[in-house]
Amino acid sequence: MPKSTDPQEQRALVDRLTAACGGSYSPKVRRRFFISGPQWAASYQGQALFHAPTRGPIQPAEVIERLAEIGIGWWTTHDTDIISTGQLMTSKQDQILAGIEQALKKNGVKCSMVTGETFFHPVWAASPAAEQPEVRAYARQRLENVVEIAHKLGAQFIVYWPGTLGYQFQGVVDEGLMLRRYAEEINAACGKDHEIARATGGSTKRHCLEAKPFEPQAELILPSTDAMLAFINSGLLTHPEMVGVNPEYLHELMWGSAPRAALARALVAGKLWHFDINDGYRLKHDVDIGIGLINPLDWLNVLVLLRSHGYDGPFNLDFKPPRTTSNYGVFKVSFPSAVDRFITLWEIAGEAIADPIIQEATKALEAGAGPLESKDADAIFEANKELWTLHELIAHRLVQILLGLHRGRTFVNLNA
């Protein structure tokens, strides 16, 4: 039987083994990246449909302080993560925001994004684009208020994850009408943004739509980033130029797609403005695991794409610390290790881009080998067939770079 660890000694054990892992970056290095820590991720208590909370509550000021210590320079929040539904749009809101501004300033942290919670409160049971005009009028006020909060806290980005914009039964709502109604709310938010920007001489925000294929509803009306791009270009928005997307890695994986391809489609549309980073499994629910714990190779490839296209928006750590992690562990292990895996993968992506073998192979593939303008398919195939083996070689090379094998790491014991 291994020796049991006294509860008083468990933190010391976690500290010692965390240090023994090595591979961590200093807060100064971590702050160089546009990485943001969500209030809701840090304060998630582990509750779910079948799960009671395993962690105690934590106040926003403390979250901001802990993120600052780790070296996470940006903070993101839902309106109701910091202001209860009843206090929104009252003088209590101003008071709370003043406290938040103070905490941010004191810790050298900036608010990069504010988002409206339009999924949790019972009022959203039929979605923020429900049939009832009073629900929608309330939704518009809520979104306009989010814009006000964003201006107040100096956030550049606003995210909309509608959550319940969907249904359990088809045939009950008219999807076309619902899309129009949802557009009216986004239009109201963009209008408010223009109004505030004009009044204050500030600039307007980047409004980013986030999709999830299912959960909490069985079917969603805007289930993917592609659907959001189509919605932006549908003609229903009065300010499509102000609206982009916030894909979430796992949300794309959940419906079985290649997240990298979804990101590429947003990139070429010029709409990839914000990115929720995490990890998980295909065709399962939203497990929100920390980046790189499940699909490090896919993550490497995602970051190669983003680096190659010069993506310079935020990387928002939208994950959920697991229920088995304590309040202490959230800031000792969860957040720092997620940031460090991100930075390492980012650096490895840089290595992959600069790798002479991948570069030479890619150049050769792009140069091709057949006669141009030929109408002879067989001749084109014959001319290129040896070249195309390089696809598999590049895939192998990327795994080598991920595992450090290109630096000569081999398992000698097995070779002996």
What residue number has its CB nearest to ligand 3MF?
115
Strand stretches in 224-274, DSSP E: 243-245
Q: Give the span between the Cα atoms of 60 and 79, in whole angstroms.
A: 12
Shortest Å, Cβ 372 to ligand 3MF: 47
Nearer to ligand 3MF, 185 or 248 (CB): 248
Torsion angle in degrees (nearest 10) through CA of 370, 375, 377, 381: 0
Cβ pair 121, 88 in contact under 8 A: no
Cβ pair 76, 112 in contact under 8 A: yes
Active site residues: 78, 81
Chain centroid, CA 172 distance in Å: 32
Nearer to ligand 3MF, 41 or 339 (CB): 41
Shortest Å, Cβ 383 to ligand 3MF: 48
Q: Give the span between the Cα atoms of 257 and 250, in whole angstroms.
A: 10
* 257: DSSP letter: -
Looking at residue 22, its amino acid is: G
Given ligand 3MF, Mg ion, none, residue 40, with its beta carbon under 5 to 8 Å by kind, binds ligand 3MF
Shortest Å, Cβ 358 to ligand 3MF: 33
Characterise 203 by phi-psi region: left (phi > 0), alpha (psi -120 to 50), beta (else).
beta
Chain centroid, CA 270 distance in Å: 17
Shortest Å, Cβ 3 to ligand 3MF: 40
Cβ pair 100, 153 in contact under 8 A: yes
Nearer to ligand 3MF, 279 or 286 (CB): 286
Query: What is the contact surface with ligand 3MF in residues (CB under 6 A)?
Result: 40, 115, 159, 161, 210, 212, 248, 276, 286, 318
Nearer to ligand 3MF, 25 or 315 (CB): 315
In order of 55, 58, 314, 378, the CA distances from 45 in angstroms are 5, 9, 25, 62
Given ligand 3MF, Mg ion, none, residue 159, with its beta carbon under 5 to 8 Å by kind, binds ligand 3MF
Query: What is the contact surface with Mg ion in residues (CB under 5 A)?
Result: 248, 276, 286, 318
For 324, residues 6+ apart whose C-beta sits below 8 A from its C-beta are: 54
HSE-CB of 97 using CA atoms within 13 angstroms? 23
Helix axes 389-403 and 335-354, enclosed angle (nearest 10): 140
Shortest Å, Cβ 165 to ligand 3MF: 12
Q: Give the span between the Cα atoms of 221 and 211, in whole angstroms.
A: 9
Shortest Å, Cβ 295 to ligand 3MF: 17
Shortest Å, Cβ 248 to Mg ion: 4
Nearer to ligand 3MF, 276 or 355 (CB): 276
Per the structure block, which two tokens stand in for 70?
Answer: 């780790």
Nearer to Mg ion, 46 or 191 (CB): 46
Helix axes 356-367 and 335-354, enclosed angle (nearest 10): 50
Nearer to ligand 3MF, 185 or 210 (CB): 210
Given ligand 3MF, Mg ion, none, residue 226, with its beta carbon under 5 to 8 Å by kind, binds none
